[in-house]
Each structure stands twice: as C-alpha cells, then as structure tokens.
Structure 1
C-alpha cells in the first residue's frame, strides 16, 4: 500500500551499540501523541566493525549487535499496532543471523510483521581478486598507503551500501529491514525514497534526505548530546535529552524536531554541532548521491523546529568506501598514579626504569608509549586535583610478546625504587594482552558489489548500482586562509587572552585515522574574526601545538553556519580499532583546541560566554 502524500517523520533512535535501549519503545508507544512513520538506528562504528569481523571469522558468537534486540523487543507490540517501519544497520558482520533472530522474536509474540535483510556489504573476495588482477592499488584514503604495502593480512572487508535496498524492501511490504554496513544515513535515504516514490535522478531531494540522515544518525547528538553549549541544557532536562525527528516532504525539504516531552533542544546551534561531526568538507559522499554543502544553513522556525536550507545534490561517485579488517595484533597497558610536584621528572624516572627492565623484549614490540594524562592544579585543595595518570601502553604482533614477564612485570617491578608516592593501579586486567584489529579504509567500484534484498518469502531482489556517476578529486576543496579578510585582527579592538572556547563552539570526530573539527560562533562580526584567526597555518603552528604530526590539513568555510572546518589527515594513530590514544574517537580534539588561549576581542566577551 502506498504511504500518505505528506512529509515522512523519521526518528533516529540509536547512534551507538551502547545508546539508550529504551528509545524504540518510548517513541513507538507514544505514537498516538507524537506519530513516527519510520524508526531508524545506527548500531555500527569503525570500532565494532573490526570486533564483529573478528567474531565472524572465529565463529565463536553471532557477529551481529545484540543490543538491537534489547531495544527492539519491548517496542515490537507498538511497532505492530501502529505499523511503524524500522530500518537499522545492526547486522554488523552477521546480518542473516540477525534476520533469523528478529524473525523468531516476531513469531514468538505472534505479530504480523515482515522482516527483510540486506546483503552485499561483505566484499573481501571481490576486493582481493581485483587486487590480484591489478585493477586498483586500493589506496588508503586516510594515509595514501597502497594495500600491497600494508603489512597486515586482511580477514574481512565491508563496503558501505546506499539506501535503495531499504527502499525496495519497504516497497515490497517489509516492516523491519536489518542491514549490515549500510552508511549511517542510508536508512533515512531509503525511507524517504520509498515514501515519496522518488527516482535516482532526484538528486537534490536525495541530498537533503542524506543530510537529514546525518543529522539524525547519532540520535541525541542533534538534541543536545556532545554539544559545547551543554550547560544551558541543565534547566532543559539534560537527564532526559530527546531524540531527533526529521520531517522530509515530497520535494526533499527537511525540518528537524524532537519527540514531545523530552529534554534538550533542537536549535540552529545543536544542529550545527551534529552537522560538523565526522564530515570531510563541502562534498559529502554516499552511494546514492553526493551532497554539496557549500551553502548549507539552518533556519529557526519555532521552538524545537529548525529547517535545513541550501543543500544541493550531485551525482554519486562510482566508488564506495570499504573498511578492511586484518588479523589481530595484541595490546596491553598499565597505569601508575603521580601526585603533586615534579610530575615530568617523576614520569621520566619511571619511564627510564621500565624501559631498562623491558630492554630484552622491546624488539618484538610494534609500539610502546608512555603518556602523562592530566595536570596538577596550582595550589590543589584535594588530592585528586593533584594527581595524574601515567599510562604505559604497548602493542605486538603476538600475544606471547606481551606476556606478563615481558610487559606487566617490567611495568610494576620498579615499585620500590622509583619516584615518591609511586602507586600502581591495582586492577591489572588491561595489563594482559588482548586482541586489537588493524583497520584500513579504501574505495572500490559500486559495480563490484552484489547489493540484494532478501524477503521472508525467500524472494531476493538485486539492487543495481547507479548508472550515472561522477568522479571527484582525491582531496576536498581547501582554502588556507579566508577569502574575505578584514584589515587585521587588531581592527576588532582591544582584546584579552582567554580560551578559544569562551566564545567559540566546536565539534570533532573520527573517520579512520582522519580527524575533523569544525568551529562556529554566534554572531556575524565574531565570524569575521574567526575566519581571519583560524588559518591553516594558525591551526598547524599554534592551536595543535605538540599534537600536530606534520600531516595534511584541509580547511573550508561554511558561511551559512558561521563555521570554519578543518580535516586533519591521518591525525588519530590508525583509528579507533587499534589506536593507543585515549581520544580514540577524535571527539576530544575539539575540546582540547577550545581550551587553547587566544586573543579574544573584549566586545565579544561582553556579550556573554558559552
């Protein structure tokens, strides 16, 4: 049956394997007061892609995301009663098994719901065959490395699929569609495409749905989660921050709101925060469409209702992203506490002693890092504020290379001969070797994929790749300095040294080993100052400081958002699956940069701080 000809209402109810699992039932049960047409959820990240790939290969457990079933089960009666559609990517590396599990749940409850599943994301055989034939070097899009130069052995590869398989499943009567590695926004694209009976050539409409999917894919990130203006939300109920609802009409126009009675807010600022998360620049790629973002803006309509403006569509690229997982390496870490004075000297003493004891084993380590995390406050009034974490972390190709005699014993044996107050963390579980998976990000032709929809009836439908595509340059457009430079920073008047984040919002995130960070301000004159201040040279030479690793930095401005965006290429130590950084998702890069002191005009500070 064709859906109604009105705007479709889609809610993003999960952005992580550990997002609040009450969301589906909460949203579905309140249908009569706040109707939702489609519930979508993102259960996959580059972290669990590798972990589930390892589970798939060793066959010990089903390699889908079980937390999806915890969210779905209590919502099923309401989903059935109100005929709410569901599309999620929780299949991870075992979508067929998740389909079987969901089907059992539906049958046990005696519900009339059809469950379909999407395949085609598992692509290791095609990729390795193409590599052998020399069809592509399969260059790493973060590092530029070629696949045959990678020192690790691939065991699994997943391609990012578009949303048209989901659309076809809904068209043919499916109520619940479970997917593996479709892109985060693909469920929204697929739902809108089905609802409005769009065509592949409706590029502007698809691009708006794509951005709407990005705004809702991380659930509460659009309604106040992970937002630098979070302090304002304490009075708005930050213990019950809501879920975004995107309303997409037949022409692709998008309005974002949230579920009734929830905390947080939908505002221009909260949506700017989510928009700037994990993008690469002004070209935003999906298997179905490329969104051109140069002129993007948000328009406040009323309380908790904001319209998306300025997005244009272009042909999709002929390729899609592929994440490759390699055989595991091993990692172990140990922690000491350092308190009070002379932190640097104490850390240097401990590192020297540990290295001396580890010397016979170091040749087998692929990485060894000593890190001081935190800082001692001046004239501390309690002991915690005078204590930092000294972290020792190592990686090796074999578990036996990080055996207790070779790692944890050298880490802990200096206890009687090291710095004053030396205290080890008593929980040593992390000090024993655990598996971590190397991850490699590349591109492969969409024409190489076998994208299919599988129905409960046994019917299978092929989803063809786009017939019209466009190849884009390797790198995003970049501008090292603003094209609209005022006379000088001094033209903004008297200033004082203060943290950048005093008046500047920011948001950062990871894609492989790349990190993106976007900054934005509240007022037009502040934006002129921000554009001038945040040059590529200023980012490299001052803001990043010791964190700058010499990599490529791309810069782009979004005037409609009063934002300056940076892409920090290969900034994150190989990505979330195997990094030795505590900022393994790149989310704290923005918070570090906001804490850096700059000269801020006094007239801006007089308007109030964030």
Structure 2
C-alpha cells in the first residue's frame, strides 16, 4: 500500500505540442524533488479528429506519436525511482500504443508493467441507439440533433472516468495507457488508488478533479497563457515550470511547482487556469460533479497555494462524446497590404478575386475574405504598417479546391491589383487539405464498455457509477449581478483598456467559448460585477458577437465573473476558419477594448 501521506502528482504535458523534455526532467530529478505519479495529456479536440481520420483511412498508427518522444528518455528514471505514469495518449489506437510502449520497456530491460484502457470508442453504440430511435444525440453546443447533421460520422469517442486507472494501479501497473479519458481522470485515478477512496467520497473526488483541471495543462498553472505575464520576466519566463499537486487523504489540495524552475504558482496563475475551459459553477466529470460556487485559493508561501471551497456532488449519468465526420477540405492564400487606404485596397483585391473565382464559388461550402491586423497612425517601420489579407475556402470535395479553382483566381489579379500588391509566395496552404467536422454530445455511461487490460493478458470491466444525478442542461446563470452598484459611485473615470486592471482567460470547448475576468483587489470586484453584465459583454464583443446565448456566472472567492459564449467559435478547432481556432485570444481581444475605468484603481499599478 502507498504510504500514509499526500500524493505528489506532476503534470508533464498539456498537449501534443508541449515541451517533450518535461517527463525526463521531472523523473530524473526525483531524488531532489520526489514525484509519486506523472500524468500527461496528449489529446485534444484537434488531434482527436485528426487521429480519427488516420484510423478511418486505414493507417497503421493512429495513436499520438509525440508521447513516445517524451517517454523514451524518461523510462530509465521512471523504472529506477518507481514512479507511476498515467496518460491519455492512445488517441484512436490505444492498444497499438500499449504494444509499442510495452516493446520499449522490454527492449530496455526495465521490468515495468504496462496496462491499457479501452471503451472510449463508441461509434457503434451511437449508431445503434440512433437506429433504434433511443437517443437524438443533441449537440451540447448548438442544440442540433445528430440526425439533422449534414455530415457522416466516422468515429465517436467518449470521455472516460478515472476508475480504470485506479484498478490498473491496484493491480500493479506502472504505466497506464489511456485513450480518451477526461483530462483530469489520471489525477483522480492516481489519488483514489493512493488514498483508497470510494465512489461515495464525493468531496475528495471533487477536489482531486479540480486539482487535475489545474495541472492537466502543465505550465498553464505556472504562468503560461497568463495575462499578468510581464511579471514573469524576472522569474525566468524562458524556463516556466510544471505544476505538482499534493493531495491528502482528506482531499485537501496544495499546488506547487518543480524545483529550480521559472514562472510562479500564485493565486493569479491558478485563477487563470481555473477559469479556463469550465462551463459554469457545475463542473462535470464521469466520476463526480465539482460544485465551484465557493472556490478560493489561499496563499501559503512562495509557490505554494491551497485550493479551498470545492464541494462534491454525484456525477451525471452521461459523459461527453466527440463525433468526427468524414473530412471536408480547406485551402487558404494570403496577400500583404501596406500603408494607407487598407479598406479600399481589400475591397479591390476581393472584388477581383471574386470575379475570377465566380464559376467555382457555388461548389464551396465556405468562402471568407479576412483582414488581419491594422495600421497605426504614422508607423515607424514597414512591418507595423502591413496587414495580412487572408482568403480561405472550404469544400466537400478536394477537387473543388483544385489550383485552377482556388489558388489561380487568388493570385492571377497580381498585375491589376492595389498599389504594392504582394502575395505570399509560400502557397502550400493554398492546396486542399483535410479538415474534420466535430460534433459534441452525451452518451449514458451505462452504455460504455470501460475495460482495463493488464500486461499478463487479464482484462476486467470497470462499472459505471451506481449513483448519479440528472442536472439541467443549462447551468444557473445571471445576466446581471444580484446587487449591482451604480457605476458612478466608483468616482471619476477615464477611457482605458479593460485589461489595464482586469485579468482574463478564455478557451474552447467544441464551438463554445468561455472567458473569465478577475481583479486583484476586493473593492474592484464590486465594480467588475456591476460592469460586466451579459449585455455589456455582447457590446464589448462588438463585431465579434455571433448572436449566440451568453451565460454569466460569478465566483466571488476568486473575484471573478465568467461568461460562456455559446456556439461562438465557428464549429470548433478542427474545422474553424477563424485564426483564433482555440478561443484563447477572445480574452485578449476583450481586454484591449476601452471601457470607463475608475481613476482610483489605476493608482495601484497596471497589470
């Protein structure tokens, strides 16, 4: 049995493109900075669809190969120090990844036991229930019904809970390879195994769940993607560290970071990561629902912060499912436009392209002309005076975006275009590439064959939770604060960017975008609550408002106001035509918008 002390879990990856060196760094430094379990997240809505397409096309390897780059140099230290490892890197072929990892372990003679978990592939179950008219599979972002979706599903993947990982560790596994478990499931699974919790220990499970949310994006909790990033430069922002969550038997959570690393773990960096990707005060997982209304962070000492106020409730009977459709195709081409009369120049080149492209436009499913950037008054260098004019199209067939139908009409106006007309000479993006439509819905957990496979050949079924609760589809929302303060009571104001004194963080979940705002001081929160109504956010979005529902929630313990922008992201990361394909820049756009900022708050220093 594990020792009777808090478990120390380190998050070593937040995406396929995270730094590959983290697992080796954390494992090799175990004597100086002990880690009990390494967890990592190698899956997202982006690569879930790509790997689904790989599997559909019959390719051999549909797992996430970047995981192996991180694992290989770390394996000797994982074995030497008996560190456990649980990851969601299987993508669309978890069994094959298991076989590869097992082979690596055997080749190195390390004697580690490897297990793998299946059950996340659920297309057959979705199709069966559709055929039997048992479920309409409503899209949780758009409200659309799957039967009305114009695309043909090729793959469906459910988000599994952490109890398969629990059983694997109980059976002696050293490495647990998962496909699509929820991002926090490895932390939940490791914590339950270490402390011997059961499914009824809801408060403990909820705290482990939120600890998993805080650590699953690796360096985000230590200052990555943080709107107060300028404070990190003297803290070595070239070497931002990785979060370590310490979880006690009672479920108490302390967040810290690996030794001798840059960045910081602070109330602000954790608030930033907390507000990222949540959907409101009810945070759902296959194993537990975390109730977040009273959540706070408590500073303990430098780079040690405690999580407080999380409560546990029964999990929902369903879990999220991501459905990938047959590919559509996309092509894009760019022009550089400089100096004066930008809008007139864009009108000219767009109209010329449209004339040449006219015979082919009916076969496009989407065609957009986008001006990216703006020119400042009296610029002092040519780059600052240049914008990117982007032409992007999508079609159901690759041949509809063949060069003669897309890229030739885009570049042929060069000799009759605006002054200074300059196309980008790298035309690789102008040739059709696959993109995958993505649909997010729910499936009863009881319909999932969640199964653990051990290295000795033994397999066992992981039953779903026996106690669940059905929650309303829409979370509690309030368009305005309950007790607003008249804004004039905050005194004299000046027009300034909202981000002068307000932090923010945003991100994507399907086609929804969430964005949370918070302030540093208690008296500023009364102003923030009163200023940020749902109507105000719609106005602040200005031309970016897409007409969708805006849901608003408050987190007083964090001095935060959070918004969920329903269906804001043009179908999501896998197929959007937006340059903000992850929704991460929505917050930064809103922070640069001018509002009436009380002068008395500015004296405390800008963010």
CA distance in 1, matches of 2:67, 2:443: 29
The equivalences for 1:148-187 within 5 A come to 148-187=147-186
1:152-175 Cα offsets, whole Å, 9 max, x none, are: 000000000000000100000000
Unaligned runs of 5+ in 1: none
Deviation at 1:337, TM superposition (A): 0.3
1:149-201 Cα offsets, whole Å, 9 max, x none, are: 00000000000000000010000000000000000000000000000000000
- Residue 356 (structure 2) aligns with: 357
Deviation at 1:499, TM superposition (A): 0.3
CA distance in 2, matches of 1:180, 1:358: 43
Runs of 4+ more than 4 Å apart = none
- Residue 573 (structure 1) aligns with: 570
The equivalences for 1:391-540 within 5 A come to 391-486=390-485, 488-540=486-538
The equivalences for 1:40-189 within 5 A come to 40-189=39-188
1:61-110 Cα offsets, whole Å, 9 max, x none, are: 40111111111111111100110000000001110000001001101110
Q: Does 1:549 pair with 2:546?
A: yes
- Residue 289 (structure 1) aligns with: 288
1:516-552 Cα offsets, whole Å, 9 max, x none, are: 0000000011100000000001011x21000011100
Give the SS at the match of 1:174: coil
CA distance in 1, matches of 2:94, 2:76: 23
Q: TM-score under structure 1 normalisation?
A: 0.99
Count residues with an aligned counterpart.
607
CA distance in 1, matches of 2:356, 2:476: 50
Q: TM-score under structure 2 normalisation?
A: 1.00
CA distance in 2, matches of 1:168, 1:377: 59
Q: Does 1:339 pair with 2:305?
A: no
Give the SS at the match of 1:245: strand
CA distance in 2, matches of 1:217, 1:60: 29
Deviation at 1:579, TM superposition (A): 0.2
Deviation at 1:58, TM superposition (A): 1.1
- Residue 595 (structure 2) aligns with: 598
- Residue 580 (structure 2) aligns with: 583
Deviation at 1:484, TM superposition (A): 2.2
1:302-338 Cα offsets, whole Å, 9 max, x none, are: 0000000000000000000000000000000000000
1:359-395 Cα offsets, whole Å, 9 max, x none, are: 1011110000000000101100100000000000000
- Residue 609 (structure 1) aligns with: 606
Deviation at 1:476, TM superposition (A): 1.0
Unaligned runs of 5+ in 2: none
Give the SS at the match of 1:68: helix
- Residue 371 (structure 1) aligns with: 370
CA distance in 1, matches of 2:321, 2:404: 39
CA distance in 1, matches of 2:438, 2:23: 31
CA distance in 2, matches of 1:100, 1:58: 21
Q: Does 1:195 pair with 2:194?
A: yes
CA distance in 1, matches of 2:294, 2:240: 29
CA distance in 2, matches of 1:41, 1:56: 23
